[in-house]
Amino acid sequence: MTTLDLLNKKAPAFKLTDQDGEIHNLKDYAGKLLVLYFYPKDLTPGCTIEACNFRDNLARVKSAGAAVLGVSADSVQRHAKFAAAMSLNFPVLSDESHEMLNTYGVWQEKRMMGKKYMGIVRTTLIIDEQGTIRKIWTDVKVNGHVDEVIATLKEIK
């Protein structure tokens, strides 16, 4: 299964812990739009830019009626350091088991310098108020991405 197989289908349920030890379930976001973004690793350049772009534009995302959740395989403790260092104002969820990452099709084989390894493909989804995945971006380029997300949220709303 790939992430794109989920387009226009019900989002798979999840239950993950954020940087503050709070548990988040998909059902907690029923009735509102949800931006769910998957990123490879805390405190790395691209992931930091992406998180800070969501942080800096959170008011715009909220005014479009949406919440934001970031997800990676980093530990809750590492997320806490990342969130504190970057003053993140939204939850980042830990999936060390890769269960959600596999379910959403973002845990994939990657290549770097001729070596193969498993990792997260930078991906963003918009889930609508009824829990249906309405938009998917894969292999996200972080510059300008949040503006695309906000424009799409306004179209969906």
Instruction: Give the active site residues.
Output: 47
Whether the CB-CB separation of 67 and 35 falls below 8 Å is answered with yes
Chain CA centroid to CA 107, Å: 13
Say what the alpha-carbon torsion angle 47, 1, 109, 131 is, to the nearest 10 degrees: 10
Rounded CA separation 28/31 (Å): 9
Q: What angle do CA 76, 132, 142 make, to 5 degrees?
A: 55
DSSP helix/strand/coil, 1: coil
Tokens standing for residue 57 = 């534009």
